[in-house]
Amino acid sequence: MPVAQDPRRVAMISVHTSPLEQPGTGDAGGMNVYVAETARELAARGVEVDIFTRRTSSETPVEAELVPGVRVRHVTAGPYEGLAKEDLPGQLCAFSAGIMQAGLSVPEDHYDLVHSHYWLSGQVGWLAADRWRVALVHTMHTMARVKNRHLATGDAPEPRGREIGEVQVVEAADRLIANTDDEARELIELYDAPPSTVSVVPPGVDLSTFTPGDRGAARRELGLPPDGEVLLFVGRIQPLKAPDVLLRVAGELLVRDPALRARLTVAVVGGPSGSGLSRPHELEELARTLGIEDVVRFVRPVDRARLAQWYRAADLVLVPSHSESFGLVAVEAQACGTPVVAARVGGLPTAVGDAGVLVDGHATADWATAVDGLLRDAPRRLELGAAAVAHAARFGWGATTDRLLTVYRQAMRERASGTAEPSVDEPLALAGVPTAVIP
């Protein structure tokens, strides 16, 4: 049962992507997982959640139940198919109107709080929270001004319209959720967010699905050789995620040690996304150019249980992103006991902790040296794998949701009293996870 000051019903807004979609391709990624997992956890605590998302197919029902207590409500805004994320700013009015109509069918005080995800949803949440006279809690997930500082070659800068929209959402939100201290600092320094409105809530990992397991069994299930080295990339395939680094590393390792070719498997699990959609075969072409197509496997996005098998089967998971607000893949891999080699950017140092290896920059030689060193050092991999499991255990979605509820309660109290409270400062029982809100 919810405690007295908990919200009874929360309206979550996720305009551009539905929690029902398979993550790992197109616009579906960590945000879908975040929305679905926190909604489930809220429902388990007795808080009803309606998730509003855009209808993208005539087959999609108007409403679907994710789990008891969590409804996904599909709002018609523009043509179902063929709209890119970049087209959606033109549909925000239609989407907002759809939400207002949905709101008409329920009592005026139906929702106690709006939680919007990504700036497009923040624009809609701003209006919805205002009309329903409730607090708006917003999570950015990614920010244009941060992305534009870390652009990968081939990625177009985020448009100014997005930046302006984000600034408006920062001003309109009662509370902003940052994944890490770094993200909190970016909100304050790059978006002028009042520090007292920013709360740090680390995302989570499904610790019942992502568990250590039998590597041999995982490799058998996936048709991988029982011996030999397996390097893995998981995620949406676009320049920002830098899957090319994995291929270039493999090419470099094979130059350094041609005998490795008989033992090496490089797997890329995920589908094209963002600017990668216009060049869906770029990675295959790169593999051919590097002369490594015989060792590379491209795998379409898989469900969570199968993904756990991929993590277990791998010797190392590479997360070479140019920009990453957190990096769920890194924590999931670690929860399965597989060491991670990650770029030292954004939230990845928090996600990886001391249990993996962080690489500065994206130079192939640096990455190849880090990977090579670990591949040749089985005891170190074992040691890191054990540390990885312990580190990931700090990131359950239950802890994330408890922390979110603290922020929700605070936002509701502030609305009711009309006075701002100091930042959420309850210490998280997650030693080592930075949670302090920047003063």
Annotated binding site for 1D-myo-inositol 3-phosphate: 16, 27-32, 85, 118, 142, 162
Give the separation between CA 286 and CA 266, rounded to whole angstroms.
13
- Which residue is at the shortest CB distance from ligand UDP? 29
Q: Which is nearer to ligand UDP, 25 or 410 (CB)?
A: 25
Helix (H) or strand (E) run with residue 374 in it: helix 364-375
Give which of 77, 139, 136, 76 is closest to 111, Cα–Cα.
136
Report the alpha-carbon distance of residue 130 to residue 36 in Å, rounded: 25
Nearest to 437 by CA among 421, 419, 422, 425: 425
Tell the smallest beta-carbon distance from residue 2 to ligand UDP (Å).
27
Q: In whole angstroms, how close is the CB of 224 to ligand UDP at the nearest point?
A: 16
Residue with smaller CB distance to ligand UDP, 22 or 369: 22
Least CB distance from residue 329 to ligand UDP, whole Å?
4
Q: Which of 199, 142, 146 is nearest to 174 (CA)?
A: 199
Q: To 10 degrees, what angle do helices 364-375 and 243-256 make?
A: 70
Cβ nearer to ligand UDP, comparing 281 with 304 = 304
Binding residues for UDP-N-acetyl-alpha-D-glucosamine: 22-23, 30, 236, 241, 302, 324, 332
CB of 192 to ligand UDP, least distance (A): 25
Binding residues for Mg(2+): 311-312, 314, 338
Distance CA 336, CA 212 (A): 4
Residue numbers in the known binding site are 16, 22-23, 27-32, 85, 118, 142, 162, 236, 241, 302, 311-312, 314, 324, 332, 338
Q: Which residues pair with 234 in a beta bridge?
A: 269
The CB-of-5 to ligand UDP minimum distance in angstroms stands at: 31
- Shortest Cβ distance from residue 369 to ligand UDP (Å)? 24
| Closer residue to ligand UDP, CB minimum distance, 165 or 276 | 276
Residues that bind ligand UDP (CB under 6 A): 23-24, 29-31, 33, 234-236, 269-270, 301-302, 304, 307, 326-329, 332
The residue (of 30 and 276) whose beta carbon lies closer to ligand UDP is 30
- Report yes or no: 229 and 266 within 8 Å, Cβ to Cβ: no
Residue 205 phi/psi, 5° resolution? -145, 145
CA proximity to 395, closest of 341, 344, 330, 338: 330
